[in-house]
């Protein structure tokens, strides 16, 4: 569930620029979905979710049970991005609530954070059938929604969880291992790459390097 907080100066500046460029409405081509940018700047992630949560822009809109937008602090310093909703997420409408999500909660707790203090979402808002890997067309179609979320939140650090998120946000197709331990940029925001918690459940050998990554994440956030 998204939590409303006073909109930050950074978001106001972003929305002012958007208004100057596009007028009072953000329009997503081919969807018929427009997102009103209100003159009072009461625009929030909640309003954005309301504007897009009936999306049928790709075939996953027909097969999903629940649209899975994202959860956490709408002005979080730290945003985690996974691949797509799974079975539990599709049932409950919230990201990272299954086994992998419980593991993410434990890891966050180990670095003295909670899911309420960060923001958690996925590349796709709807579950691919049988949890198959998202297709390029689905990613391309859905990505503008995530980009808008990130622009509104404007975090200090993005963490790409797993190869799909990393390859999408960095436009680089290389092994996850070679993407770790570096600071990348998504637009002007720092981005680091680590294993998806589901990969840690499948392969315990990833747990040690993932733990090192999360300690690094904690040190970066504590400096900001
Ligand atoms: S996955 Fe994204 S683009 Fe496809 S229907 Fe869901 S919200 Fe729309």
Question: Which residues lie with the beta carbon below 6 Å from any ligand 1 atom?
Answer: 55-58, 60-61, 124-126, 138, 141-142
pLDDT at 25 over 70: no
HSE-up of 147 (CA within 13 Å, CB side)?
A: 14
pLDDT in tens, 103-155: 999 999 999 999 999 999 999 999 999 999 999 999 999 999 999 999 999 99
pLDDT at 15 over 70: no
Residue 17 Cα to ligand 1 midpoint, Å, equals 26
Residue 60 Cα to ligand 1 midpoint, Å, equals 6
pLDDT-derived band of residue 224, with 50, 70 and 90 as boundaries?
A: confident
Q: Atom of ligand 1 at shortest distance to CA of 62?
A: 5
Place of tokens 């897009």: 52
The DSSP bridge partners found for residue 185 are 190
Residue 135 Cα to ligand 1 midpoint, Å, equals 12
Average pLDDT over residues 168-188: 96
CA 90 vs. chain centroid, Å, equals 16
CB 121 within 8 A of CB 132: no
Going by alpha carbons, the residue nearest to atom 4 of ligand 1 is 58
Predicted structure pTM score: 0.83
pLDDT at 190 over 90: yes
Look up the CATH number of domain 67-223: 3.40.470.10
Q: Atom of ligand 1 at shortest distance to CA of 61?
A: 5
pLDDT at 213 over 90: yes
Q: Atom of ligand 1 at shortest distance to CA of 64?
A: 6
Backbone angles phi, psi at 161, to 5 degrees: -95, 100
How far are the Cα atoms of 9, 27, 176, 209 from residue 195, in angstroms, in the given order?
A: 33, 34, 8, 9
Sequence ranges of the domains in the chain:
67-223
HSE-up of 2 (CA within 13 Å, CB side)?
A: 18
Place of tokens 């940018």: 37
Q: What is the pLDDT of residue 43?
A: 61
């Amino acid at each position: 569930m998204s939590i409303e907080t006073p909109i930050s100066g950074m978001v106001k500046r972003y929305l002012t620029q958007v208004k100057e460029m596009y007028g009072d409405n953000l329009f997503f081509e081919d969807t018929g979905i427009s997102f009103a940018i209100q003159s009072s700047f009461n625009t929030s992630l909640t309003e954005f979710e309301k504007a897009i949560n009936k999306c049928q822009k790709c075939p996953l809109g027909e097969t999903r049970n629940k649209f899975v937008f994202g959860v956490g602090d709408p002005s979080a310093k730290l945003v985690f991005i996974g691949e797509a909703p799974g079975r539990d997420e599709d049932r409950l409408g919230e990201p990272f609530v299954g086994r992998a999500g419980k593991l993410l909660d434990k890891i966050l707790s180990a670095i003295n954070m909670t899911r309420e203090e960060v923001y958690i979402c996925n590349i796709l808002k709807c579950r691919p059938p049988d949890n198959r890997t998202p297709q390029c067309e689905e990613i391309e179609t859905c990505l503008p929604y995530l980009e808008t979320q990130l622009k509104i939140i404007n975090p200090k650090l993005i963490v790409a969880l797993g190869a799909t998120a990393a390859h999408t946000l960095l436009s680089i197709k290389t092994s996850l291992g070679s993407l770790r331990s570096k600071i990348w940029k998504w637009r002007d925001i720092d981005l680091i790459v680590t294993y998806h918690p589901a990969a840690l459940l499948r392969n315990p050998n990833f747990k040690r390097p993932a733990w090192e990554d999360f300690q690094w994440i904690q040190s970066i956030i504590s400096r900001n």
